[in-house]
Chain A
Amino acid sequence: MKALRIVPEKCTGCLRCELACSYMQTGAFQPAKSVIRVSPYEGHTSYAPYTCTQCDEGWCMAACPVGAITITAAGAKDVVDDRCVGCKLCTIACPYGTIFYDPDTHKAFKCNLCDGAPACAEACPTAAILYEDVAAADWLADFAVERSARLLAVGGR
């Protein structure tokens, strides 16, 4: 299955993915409603984007009491707006924090891989986000541990 592979070392923190994502998801440029979010590490010196890995277990899906989360043709877990009752259980269940609640629409929302052509991957100027045929994984875990644990060391990355 194709998944979004994140290469955090390549991210320069320009946040262009958030603009592209919010446009595809909402029709306007509004990073606050993007489902890919760029997190800063080590203060302001390194950045990495993060979004739903479309994990196999799908705790969001398991937690949803009304069965509003389905798997799309692109293999993405997606929220069916008509069924979602806005209870936020999925946002609590997700261990990665990549499913969100929109107070304007009273619905949960998450990455749906843009139906198989993710806008974030197309928008990234440094190829830090790739859409590839790989097993889904937590691309950021090692990076986050490393960048959170140490200060910027001389000579290394």
Chain B
Amino acid sequence: MTGTALRAPTQARPRTETRAVLGGYAGKLLRVNLTTGKIRAEPWTPEEMRLWVGGVGLGAKILYDEVGPRVHWDHPENRLIMATGPLAGLPVWGTGGLTVVTRGALTDGATSTQANGFFGACLKFSGYDAIIIQGQARRWVYLYINDDVVELRDARHLLGKDTWECQDVLSAEHGLTGHQMSVYSIGPAGENLVRFAAIQGDYGHVASKNGCGAVMGKKRLKAVSIVRGTRALDAADPRGVVQAADDIAHDLKTDPSARSLYEWGTLPAVVNLYKMGVLPIKNYTTNVAPAGVEMADWEAPKLRHGFDHRGHQCSACGMHHCHMQVIPRGKHKGELVDEPEYEGWSGAGWQIGLLDKESIAWLNTRIDRASVDVNEFGWVCGWVMEGMEKGYITKAQLGFELRWGDLEGAARLLDMISHRKGFGNLLAEGVKVAAEKLGGAAQEAAIYTLKGASPRGHDHRGRWEEMLDTCTASTGTLESGVPAHVTEVGLPARINPFSGEEVARQVAGILGRRHFEDSLGICSFTTRTRLENVCRALSAATGWLYTVDECVRFGRRTAAILRAFNLRCGIGPETERPSARYGSAPLDGPAKGQAIMDQWEKMLDSWYAGVGYDRKTGRPTPETLRKLGLDWLRKDLWGKKR
């Protein structure tokens, strides 16, 4: 848009709607009470917008204020917050963003999980920045939003349908196709309260972490459907938004650290992470590909071009990331699937010993359609497969033989979990609960954190930053995420990945950035540019002067609130550990013998010092809270005297 960026609109049309709303915002929050059926729009003020921004920032505050310690994940009064942010619907790349915040089913603690597509843009054009869902419906309903028409509608005809079918049916019923309506729904796994059920939308986008789909299922809310709204979104400085968008796009296309993501999405990670020993293979039993498997066949072009594929981008996005594809051969020939992300190739593939690409692509989409988190599915399925091989899970228990790489068996297991059938009922509780129930050698082999949250689809024994992050996070998944442009916040560009001290300092140092990104209604892949550029886009949208310092401070404030929420729920530092297998030393491969647990306590010491939290109680120190401007939280955590 560079050519037109500096010119004024050709014809300023008289606008009937005068808005006194801050640029970038729709200005209202939508509160839906499923128990009473009451729906109301609540305005929020520019001051609140600056404090809580949107997404996880806004969600964390609402969660902390409205969900008490006795309101567990399955309590009707739990909140399901579907929030977007100030950049959603604007022409910055990847601005369809959705952040789901709730008390999640896997950890029974705070959750922040993201998806994209067009949800955020549709919601904003309908006039809302976030939806706060509370209560529990008597009968299954879905939420329909079309500008001012917001209704809870009977969803009984959608029950049992998977997430793609659900979107097909709702689109057809309203005479809409494609991006004319965004639908986020749960499949059978959500309906049956599988503890790692996800919320899936717009054919292939998943808010997958910490069982947010189970929370939705408990509320008997089958779907949220939003017709692409007709309202206008203003920006304080629209040309500034376009210029920042152009700069971000330029960075993503040319920066060495972002360029492969621009060209291939997350596909290159399969080979790149394999080379670091970070691709999980057969439940962490090895880090070496089987004989006869050429890693050259797993390069990104091979993964994409093996299928009839088509770009299927999110709102305003120019990344060559999300694709739809058709399976070209085999039993499922002709089926339309969503191109697996790296997480799909690992969770529905390498982790369960399945190396047939067409099979992985098919299974990955089946997992999405059932509304199951592909990571936890991998950890559960791989664990059962290893258990069968080694004899601590028997055919009698499971009902059939399940060997490494068995596609039909894995699909059958998915069905058993999604419908809580037989042994699937136990597995639906997540690998931690299942492993603790079986105990002994079975428990030793399971991959989980003591908090209950699932690791992402990596072998973190070769990527210590993420193991530390996963274990200390309050979001039910990675909290600090991938270090991007760390020198911008004064951290070293490179560290020794197996020095616990350096790793801990780095993870602590980047805390906050991710919370900021996840508050904007934008994809965290399209913010892999300098934070300064993202701040510039936000400033242009809102008219604020938002600096890198403010965004880090904002992010850390959000992190502190989520941590305080978890502490109030009884989730303390004693749970910040990997399970035996998750924290073991790799037996082979590039990270062979690197034992993170030898350094674990020291890593925690450094991390706690770095983020300014109290090592013993896990609480952010009074000093940290004071610096973050969280005096009210200091009183809650430390009492009035400190």
Residues of A within 8 A of B (CB): 11-16, 19-20, 22-33, 38-40, 43-47, 81, 102, 104-105, 109, 112, 114-115, 117-119, 122-123, 125-126, 152-157
Contacts and interface: CB of A to CB of B under 8 A. Distances in A.
B4 A27 contact: no
B231 A157 contact: no
A112 B165 CA distance: 40
Interface stretch (B176-184, B393-401, B421-429, B542-550): B176-184
Given A20-B1, A122-B2, 10 more contacts: A12-B313, A14-B315, A20-B242, A24-B4, A25-B10, A27-B13, A29-B89, A44-B177, A45-B324, A154-B333
B2 to A, nearest CB: 7
Contact of A25 (B11, B313, B333): B11
Contacts of A22: 232
B70 interface: no
Nearest to B235: A29
A19 B91 contact: yes
5 contacts: A23-B238, A24-B4, A30-B231, A117-B4, A125-B93
Contact of B9 (A23, A47, A102, A126): A23
B317 interface: yes
Given A30-B231, A31-B228, A117 B313 contact: no
A31 B125 contact: yes
Interface in B215-242: 228-235, 238, 242
Contacts of A154: 308, 326-328, 333-334
Contacts, number: 158
A32 B315 contact: no
Interface in B1-29: 1-5, 7, 9-17
Most buried by A among B179, B238, B317: B179
A114 B4 contact: yes
B308 A40 contact: no
A110 to B, nearest CB: 11
A110 B11 CA distance: 11
B4 A122 contact: yes
Contact of B91 (A47, A105, A112, A123): A123
Interface string B148-190: 0000000000000000000010010000011110000000000
A156 B328 CA distance: 10
B130 interface: no
B562 interface: no
A104 B16 contact: yes
Most buried by B among A20, A28, A105, A119: A28
A155 B328 CA distance: 7
Most buried by B among A24, A102, A118, A155: A24
A134 B317 CA distance: 28
Contacts of A11: 311
Nearest to B329: A154
Contacts of B9: 23-27
Contact of A28 (B232, B311, B324): B232
